[in-house]
Amino acid sequence: MRLSALALLLALPVLRADEGMWTFDNLPTRKIQAKYGWAPDRAWLNHVRLSAVRFPEGSGSFVSRDGLVLTNHHVGHHWTQSVSDAQHDYVKNGFMAASREQEIRVPGLVLLTLLEMENVTDRIDQAVPPGADEQAAARARSAALETLAKEQSAKTGLDCQPVSLYQGGQVWIYRYKKHTDVRLVMSPEYGVAQFGRDWDNFSWPRQDLDFSLFRVYEDGRPYVPAHHLAWSSRGIHYGDLTFTVGHPGHTSRLETLAQMEARRDVTNPIRVRSLERGRAALHAFAAKGEEQARLVSDQLMGIENSYKEVVGETDGLRDKVAMARVAMLEKELRAQVEVNPGLKTLAGQSWTRIEEALVQQKAIAGEAFLAGSFRGDLLHTALSLHHYAEEMVKPAEQRSQMYQGEQALAVLRGRLMGERPMDAERESVALQSLMASVLQELGADHPITQSLLRGKSPEAATKELLAASRIADPSVRRAMVEGDPRGILESADPALVLARRLSPRLEEVQKRQQALQSVITENLTRIAKARFAVYGTSTYPDATFTLRLSYGSIETYPLSGTLAQPFTTFAGMYDRAAAWGPEAEAGSWELPARWIERRDKLNLFTPYNFISSNDITGGNSGSPVVDKRGELVGLAFDGNIESNAGRFYFDARMNRCIALDARAIVEALDKVYDAKHLVAELTGK
């Protein structure tokens, strides 16, 4: 087939790209070998896979034989904050354990190592009854996969999780080892780890010491992993081949063009407006004082990151050249389906069915988004208590799956009870922002708005609810959960009264959304199976927060009329700090005192951050960057601003991974933090 000039132009980035977040069973080794003259073998892949760990919202890796784990400062931020208090602010001031006895256990932090993977697609497909409609087929597949994962967890003692790849074209069981005793070892000061703060987020050049160290323990002793990454003694250089090993969270590159257009025109604008309101509320709270700023530092960093990300995604969906390429590839696949009788029967109508469901989804987009936004501690807890009580008054055999079995109920009750009282000031910010969002997006006359506000302003409704409700107290919740569930359903606590008003409407919206989504999911699965029939596994699946490997090289790109530099140095950080001064933009480029005092001890031309063409996305934060020897040369922590559209497509011309150089970590530990014990453990010297 001959390509037109435009089609050829659009296809060229695909042909050139080091593109893809590849699963470990399907790495394009021939393509890597052809371009770089080397490709990893199975032993290399097993080594880096078993060295990798998954954090709750990011990635990491074992970097010593004594269970030392390396990740980003911003991945560890929440957990570092959780072991801090007003007298010990380990986020702002940093933390260093001078000995293993000083390492701080982090309650609730669980890390996972992927041990085994099994393709169960054929077995799950057999669970779909003949003639089942789209919703029934989707339910059957989901139930069969969930059941299989639970059976394997019980049989193996591992954490077995269902994984859907290629939009349901393949389904797997991934088996993980859980690490539940994790301790904080070292975290640098926020001012150097997030140098430039949100101004420099998603930017290049960059000078961030974005790392932290934890240690896994087992039976009270440091855990000895079967594999860990050796620290590179050679370092990395311009043009060198690199790999990232991590857990990219979510991409939508296999969605249909209609889905991407719906995100661009409807759902993303709603998200942007909500994030703008949340940012404003958190900044106002943080401005009240140093302790308030500490309490919301994790939330504020997260929401600023999300705002830039969603805005960047939306801008990418408006890129005419990139979206023309998406449209061309979809048109090509549809043409292949149309001429194949079997594929036409399977998926010929799937694009139309998705478009029809999207029309209905767009009509309830505001309600659906807000129904999933009731996550503030008080209202979320009230709704959870209400749902718990509704389930528990039913006979045991009629309850939904998560409310069956004493072990599951014990975990659920523990979550509902909690241990700490809710912070009233912080809860006021979250509630008021939520209520303002509902009023703005749905209007004063909408049933959800009327149930929530009862004719009051968001400020007045928030103040009244927080003043009267008692469920913020964990002892009150404990009494409710341990008592008769009918007491929750009959309680006069205003938060529970509100939950009773809201719950039916929210459940109705969620059921409509789930029904429409099941139609979309089933038809995406059919399209995925057709794509498999046409292209096989020559493509990679969308990211699903499961372990992936991407490859690329240290590579520049056009930037501001010149070329982006491949590396930065400590000298560049000090220059930027001096150029701005310590008070500019609320101290965004102010260096911690320790870094001013130790400047003369550093080799200022040590490579600090670098860029590569590796394909990454959110969730890859904390991914080790390794070389051909399987040694650690860096730590991925961000992408450039141009890469935010990477959720929907990869642009080889501009998308870059930003990483912290391993040489900078050792230089900082040695010269600034006097952590020679950690340097010796990391380097083996």
What six digits make up the tokens of 259? 């889905």
More confident residue, 312 or 67: 67
Backbone angles phi, psi at 512, to 5 degrees: -65, -45
CA torsion sign for 588, 589, 591, 596 is: negative
Where b means 16+ CB within 10 Å and e means fewer, 607-620 reads bbbbbbbbbbbbbb
Instruction: Please answer whether residues 334 and 238 qualify as being in contact, where contact means their C-beta atoms are separated by less than 8 angstroms.
Output: no
What six digits make up the tokens of 52? 């990798």
What six digits make up the tokens of 678? 């950690």
**E strand or H helix at 351:** helix 350-363
Helix, strand, coil percentages in the chain from 3-state DSSP, rounded to 5: 55, 15, 30
DSSP 168: G
Residue 385 inside a domain? The answer is: yes
How does the average pLDDT of the chain come out, rounded?
91
Report pLDDT for 587: 93
Q: List Cβ neighbours of 148 (8 Å cut-off, separation of 6 or more).
A: 120, 123, 124, 162, 173
Q: List Cβ neighbours of 684 (8 Å cut-off, separation of 6 or more).
A: 230, 231
Report pLDDT for 302: 83
Give the bridge partners for 625, in sequence order: 244, 634
pLDDT above 70 for 376? no
Q: Which amino acid is at 262?
A: A
Domain end residue (candidates: 129, 162, 179): 179
For the residues 439-459, what does the mean pLDDT come to? 91
Question: How many Cβ atoms sit within 10 Å of the Cβ of residue 41?
Answer: 10
Report pLDDT for 17: 64
Task: Give percent above pLDDT 90 in the chain.
Answer: 69
Cα 589 versus chain centre, distance: 27
Whether 547 and 661 share a structural domain: yes
Report pLDDT for 419: 66
What six digits make up the tokens of 348? 């010929």
- Structural domain for 608, as ranges: 5-110+180-253+541-683
pLDDT above 60 for 5? no
> Of 470-474, 573-577, 659-663, where does mean pLDDT reach its minimum?
470-474
pLDDT grade for 291, boundaries at 50, 70 and 90: confident
pLDDT grade for 290, boundaries at 50, 70 and 90: confident
Whether 460 and 605 share a structural domain: no
Model pLDDT for residues 20-66, shown as the tens digit of each residue = 999 999 999 999 999 999 999 999 999 999 999 999 999 999 999 99
> Of 13-17, 222-226, 465-469, where does mean pLDDT reach its minimum?
13-17
User: How far is 85 from 87, CA to CA, in rounded Å?
Assistant: 5
Model pLDDT for residues 150-163, shown as the tens digit of each residue = 999 999 999 999 99
User: How far is 319 from 645, CA to CA, in rounded Å?
Assistant: 9
Report pLDDT for 406: 78
SS in 3 state form for 440-482?
HHHCCCCHHHHHHHCCCCHHHHHHHHHHHCCCCCHHHHHHHHH
For the residues 569-576, what does the mean pLDDT come to? 98
For the residues 347-358, what does the mean pLDDT come to? 96
Residue 320 inside a domain? The answer is: no
Beta strands in 203-262 (DSSP E): 212-218, 221-222, 241-246
Whether 658 and 568 share a structural domain: yes
Angle of helix 268-286 relative to helix 297-317, nearest 10 degrees, comes to 150
User: How far is 201 from 541, CA to CA, in rounded Å?
Assistant: 27
Q: List Cβ neighbours of 191 (8 Å cut-off, separation of 6 or more).
A: 92, 587, 590, 591, 592
Instruction: Please answer whether residues 58 and 622 qualify as being in contact, where contact means their C-beta atoms are separated by less than 8 angstroms.
Output: yes
Whether 596 and 648 share a structural domain: yes
Question: Which of 349, 327, 354, 320 has the alpha carbon at shortest distance from 337?
Answer: 349
Q: How many DSSP H helices and E strands does the chain contain?
A: 29, 20
Report pLDDT for 426: 80
User: How far is 158 from 166, CA to CA, in rounded Å?
Assistant: 25
pLDDT above 90 for 331? yes
Instruction: Please answer whether residues 57 and 75 qualify as being in contact, where contact means their C-beta atoms are separated by less than 8 angstroms.
Output: yes
Domain end residue (candidates: 134, 159, 179): 179
Instruction: Please answer whether residues 63 and 185 qualify as being in contact, where contact means their C-beta atoms are separated by less than 8 angstroms.
Output: no
pLDDT above 50 for 15? no
Question: Which of 650, 681, 619, 643 has the alpha carbon at shortest distance from 250?
Answer: 619
Q: Is 235 left (phi over 0), alpha (psi -120 to 50) or beta?
A: left
Report pLDDT for 1: 36
pLDDT grade for 374, boundaries at 50, 70 and 90: low
Report helix, strand or coil for 59.
Answer: strand
Whether 144 and 17 share a structural domain: no
Domain end residue (candidates: 122, 151, 179): 179
Residue with tokens 């965004």: 588
Residue 551 inside a domain? The answer is: yes
Residue 334 inside a domain? The answer is: no
> Of 49-58, 119-128, 371-380, where does mean pLDDT reach its minimum?
371-380
User: How far is 235 from 633, CA to CA, in rounded Å?
Assistant: 6
Whether 123 and 28 share a structural domain: no
Whether 395 and 469 share a structural domain: yes
Report pLDDT for 375: 59
Backbone angles phi, psi at 222, to 5 degrees: -55, 130
CA torsion sign for 378, 381, 386, 389 is: negative
Whether 137 and 202 share a structural domain: no
Q: What is the CATH number of the domain that holds 655?
A: 2.40.10.120
Report pLDDT for 3: 38
Whether 410 and 502 share a structural domain: yes
For the residues 489-497, what does the mean pLDDT come to? 94
Question: Which of 108, 114, 12, 224 has the alpha carbon at shortest distance from 549?
Answer: 114
Whether 597 and 645 share a structural domain: yes
Residue 303 inside a domain? The answer is: no
pLDDT grade for 131, boundaries at 50, 70 and 90: confident
Instruction: Please answer whether residues 50 and 226 qualify as being in contact, where contact means their C-beta atoms are separated by less than 8 angstroms.
Output: yes
Residue 140 inside a domain? The answer is: yes
pLDDT above 70 for 512? yes
Whether 151 and 21 share a structural domain: no
The domain tally of the chain equals 3
pLDDT above 90 for 460? yes
Q: List Cβ neighbours of 310 (8 Å cut-off, separation of 6 or more).
A: 268, 271, 272, 275
Report pLDDT for 429: 83
User: How far is 383 from 361, CA to CA, in rounded Å?
Assistant: 24
pLDDT above 70 for 633? yes
Residue 342 inside a domain? The answer is: no
Question: How many Cβ atoms sit within 10 Å of the Cβ of residue 571?
Answer: 16
Residue 652 inside a domain? The answer is: yes
What six digits make up the tokens of 334? 């549809």
Whether 526 and 493 share a structural domain: yes
Instruction: Please answer whether residues 214 and 106 qualify as being in contact, where contact means their C-beta atoms are separated by less than 8 angstroms.
Output: yes
Diameter over CA atoms, the chain: 74
Scanning 483-605, the segments in alpha helix (DSSP H) are 485-490, 494-535, 570-580, 593-597
pLDDT above 60 for 10? no
